[in-house]
A and B are shown apart, each in its own frame.
Chain A
Amino acid sequence: MKRTSRLTGLIGIVASAALALTACGGGGGGSSSNGGSAGPGAKAQQGGTLQVLANAAFSHLDPARGFDGGVNNFYRLVYRTLTTQGAAPGADGTKIVPDLATDTGKTTDGGKTWTFTLKDGLFFETGAPITSADVKWGVSRAWDPEIGIGSPYAKQLIEAPASYQGPYKSGELSTIDTPDAKTIVFHLKKPFADFGSVVAQNTFSPVPKGQGAGNALDSKPIASGPYKVAEYKPGASLKLVRNDKWDKKTDDVRTANPDVFQWTFGLDPATIDERMIAGQGTDANAIAGTVQAASVARIQTPQLKQRTMTGSNGCTTYMGLNSTKKPLDNVKVRQAINLAINKQTVRDADGGSALAEIGTSIQPPTITGRVDYDPYPSPDHKGDVDGARKLLTEAGFGNEFTMTLDTRAQPKMQAMAVAIQQALEPLKITVKINTIDTATYYEVIGTTSQQHDAAITGWCPDWPSGATFLPPLFDGRNITPKGNTNLSQLNDPGVNAKIDEIAKLTDVAAANKAYGELDKQIMELAPVVPLVYEKVLMLIGSNIGGAYLHDGFSGGIDLVSVGLKDAGK
């Protein structure tokens, strides 16, 4: 007999673990509310091990590299910055308070030069004191082309030689002064009134001078906060234990309840939900991210509702309409599409009313000064096909046309794309769905030559003001061939002028109000279709206390305050 061979029967598979990436550019702001009763809010004790169940691992442990709501929240456990956001629910959470510095910064020349003084008694986990030189070293890493891929604000605002490439390649940065071990002075390119908020960004974490080259901090951070990394298995687990060199007396923000934080990564989202619902054993001491749509029906019991927290994640999911492509260059066509989209089906595709609110304006509800209005109304938000058809006929596009919709290779995004496709079908608009892998999605749609007619994406503000929302998305002078965020490529003189006008306002409240009006002005041009405002909906273990959703971290549970009700369990 001859050796037998096989035709490989390729029945294969994977529950394609949905990548839970949000479309956010940064740690979003936004307000959130505790849905639960006394349960989640109950006091936490010091001690114990808090478990975190997660699907996706942290992008980076290096504070100069990571920049999203998830890591920003985590970084506060390990790193301290000159200032930081408050530790409280609601608006108090987004207020800037001193952290390493004694105050939120002093300026003598109207905001061009800023001086910060470090508190006494600050130490790294190594026992070495934290000096102004260490803060400077940490900040200057933002200029390193390989390392400084996180928060862009330091590079954008602080004066530096054009050729500067970070401390490892170009040596120390000459434009940040450290007259003594406690004082650090920043010179900005131009005055910036809110620099006190900027130094709360991750990039302002101290790194011991001379250290942190390459990816050293990604595997072993050097802690300045209340916890240090005890064990890190990338993609699998992360264990934080107390950093005994951190002195509670120097820190008004962090309660730092548990003795140990234990992350488990790479868990299937459905498995996380199952475990959180069951809440057995150590899972009673666990927190996790937003539940799957399929789990919503299962958490309606009174017992589970007590363990539920919900709020807004502070972002807007929208469809950008490329105004340089025909026939989307015609404002009536864009308005017709806005009118025709059935937002109810889009919201259902995104998880239903428990996981998303219907979006009508560009700015999400959490933005200060935002006006609640619906420029393209229809009964129950189901879309006004007749009205849309009329607009299309007026514009001369009553006959059929085809448009290509870019979407991320992620089940939820594809489901939304299909809902849009379905909603436009009665108008004889054929929507071709172009799926792009998640890793390069933003790169592709941000390259004007590769962008198609429309794209589904999202935007989160870096702080809850229209300033971090409307100008980056609609300022026509910001359109760049690569890394473009103005997806509609709208370049409207009226909008541009208004943006400049608001930027000159010194009164923050007046500016926010003006952004609310600008929102309306832009939506008349219909460059985007606001789809939904996503919500967070999470279950916490029965022994979790001190939990609240933090506005600054895309509605995540504030890690510096959460703990166990009974640390002995």
Chain B
Amino acid sequence: MTTGPTLAEVEEVGPAAPPAGPPASGKRLLTTITRDKGALACLVFLGIVVLMAIAAPLITKLSGWGPYAFDSAAINSDLGGLPHGALGGISGSHWFGVEPQNGRDLFARIVYGARVSITISLSATLLTGILGVVLGMLAGFYRGWVDQVISRVMDFLMAFPALIFMIAILSSLPSGNRPVLLVVVISAFGWPYLARVIRGQTMTLANREFVEAARASGAKDTQVVFREILPNLRGSIVVMTTLAIPGYIGTEAGLSFLGVGVAPPTASWGQMIASSVSWYSVDPMFFAIPGAFLFLTVLSLTVLGDKIRSGIDQGEAA
């Protein structure tokens, strides 16, 4: 199932990292990234996508077509609903062409689809982050039976064929609130991977002098956790979560592609790619446009994640 960006490499950063020194500062990270042309291009592209997502209603007002409006005039009913004109009906009024069979504006659907991708992947990252850090720290800090219980749950969740199970669950659940369901299901199977790393590092940290010193000076558990341990985990958390976002975007698109993602008529890139499958030989643009957006977004995030990771590595090595 690991066909997307995986975190295989991340754990190497984790346990080996000497967390004594302060992690790389955000400022220096930013300079490293902006100095790299490739990374800068990625950043710019992501900026555009995020802007599209935030300003979707405004943008579609400018372009003239909403994401749900049908345009029967743009398609040829006698040819199965194929868009009129070349390149999938690209024209002054439909900038990216239209969807076959109903004439919905592809530009508007891409813009609104960005909303879905970004909202779901960020929410999933947030939820995974919270679950992973809290449970990982609990297990690593308290050990004993707490660790036993949490570790067994992690083993159990990681033994699941997550993709198959997610599809199966989503396909049998009532339509309800799809985006929320997607976030919950993705996070439920995602947090153990972060928690494992956090647990390992917390265990190492808990034995270090500065933590023992803090304890000796009478600090409470919560103080130790929040003041001494958490700040030292920052690097790993940042790296793991940034590398997780593109994975979740891919997952959301994949689930929508499979028909268990957001419900129609909501626009989603994965769902657009799914409906383009049968059309690609007569209307390749219908596939190419959402496919390109999905690929470039995932690629940009992966490249940036990669840069952040090496930036933090260097910061720690320095």
> Which chain A residues have a beta carbon within 8 Å of chain B's beta carbons?
1-2, 4-16, 269-270, 274, 292-298, 300, 342, 344-345, 347-349, 351-355, 382, 409, 411, 414-415, 417-419, 421-422, 433-435, 437
Contacts and interface: CB of A to CB of B under 8 A. Distances in A.
B263 A12 contact: no
B12 A422 contact: no
B315 interface: no
Contact of B251 (A4, A12, A352): A12
A293 B99 CA distance: 13
A443 to B, nearest CB: 15
Nearest to B166: A10
B166 A417 contact: no
A180 B286 CA distance: 68
B305 to A, nearest CB: 12
A134 B16 CA distance: 79
Given A5-B196, A294-B100, A354-B79, A10 B1 contact: yes
A12 B1 contact: yes
B5 A9 contact: yes
B151 to A, nearest CB: 13
Contacts of A422: 68-70, 265
B215 to A, nearest CB: 26
B189 to A, nearest CB: 8
Contacts of A437: 171-172
A421 B265 contact: yes
A348 B80 CA distance: 7
Interface stretch (B21-29, B54-62, B277-285): B277-285
Contact of A14 (B15, B80, B247, B257): B257
A13 B257 contact: yes
Interface in B1-59: 1-12, 15-16
B259 A16 contact: yes
B102 interface: yes
A404 to B, nearest CB: 10
A536 to B, nearest CB: 14
A11 B80 contact: no
A348 B200 CA distance: 57
Given A294-B100, A418-B265, A437-B171, A9 B4 contact: yes
B200 A2 contact: yes
B175 A434 contact: yes
B15 A345 contact: no
Contacts of B163: 8, 10, 12
A15 B259 CA distance: 9
Interface residues of B, number: 69
B225 interface: no
A62 B290 CA distance: 46
B102 A349 contact: yes
B72 interface: yes
Interface string B168-186: 0001101100000000001
Contacts of A4: 8-9, 11-12
B178 to A, nearest CB: 10
Contact of A8 (B2, B265, B277): B2
Contacts of B171: 409, 437
Nearest to B3: A11
A439 to B, nearest CB: 10
Nearest to B270: A13
A345 B101 CA distance: 8
B192 to A, nearest CB: 9
B250 interface: yes
Contacts of B296: none
Contacts of B110: none
Given A16-B258, A16-B274, A294-B100, A9 B265 contact: no
Contacts of A11: 3-4, 247, 250-251, 253-254
Contact of B72 (A10, A12, A344, A411): A344
B77 interface: yes
B194 interface: yes
Contacts of A270: 277-278
Given A354-B79, A433-B263, A348 B101 contact: yes
A294 B278 contact: yes
The 4 A-B residue pairs whose C-beta atoms are closest, nearest first, are: A9-B4, A296-B80, A11-B250, A12-B254
A11 B250 CA distance: 5
Contact of A297 (B79, B200, B243, B244): B79
B293 interface: no
Nearest to B286: A294
Contacts of A419: 70, 102
Contacts of B8: 4-6
B190 interface: yes
Highest count of chain B CB atoms <10 Å: which of A6, A409, A421, A437: A6
Nearest to B77: A352
A354 B102 CA distance: 15
Given A14-B257, A294-B100, A415-B101, A7 B194 contact: yes
B190 A7 contact: yes
Nearest to A347: B77
B255 interface: yes
Highest count of chain A CB atoms <10 Å: which of B11, B162, B194: B11
Nearest to B257: A13
B247 A354 contact: no
A345 B12 contact: no
B277 A7 contact: no
B138 interface: no
A353 B264 contact: no
Given A16-B258, A417-B264, A348 B2 contact: no
B291 interface: no
A292 B278 contact: yes
Contacts of A1: 12, 16
Highest count of chain A CB atoms <10 Å: which of B6, B81, B257, B263: B81
A345 B102 contact: yes
Given A7-B193, A12-B167, A415 B77 contact: no
Highest count of chain B CB atoms <10 Å: which of A347, A349, A355, A435: A435
Contacts of B244: 7
B78 interface: yes
Contacts of B263: 433, 435
A418 B16 CA distance: 54
Contacts of A345: 70, 72, 102
B120 interface: no
Contacts of B3: 9, 11-12
B139 interface: no
A299 to B, nearest CB: 9
Highest count of chain B CB atoms <10 Å: which of A13, A15, A353, A422: A13
Interface in B69-123: 69-70, 72, 75-82, 100-102
A170 to B, nearest CB: 37
10 contacts: A7-B6, A7-B7, A8-B163, A11-B247, A11-B250, A12-B254, A270-B277, A349-B81, A411-B259, A435-B175
Highest count of chain A CB atoms <10 Å: which of B2, B259, B277: B259
Given A7-B7, A16-B259, A419-B70, A433 B264 contact: yes
B88 to A, nearest CB: 12
A36 to B, nearest CB: 18
Contact of B101 (A13, A274, A349): A349
Contacts of B193: 5-8
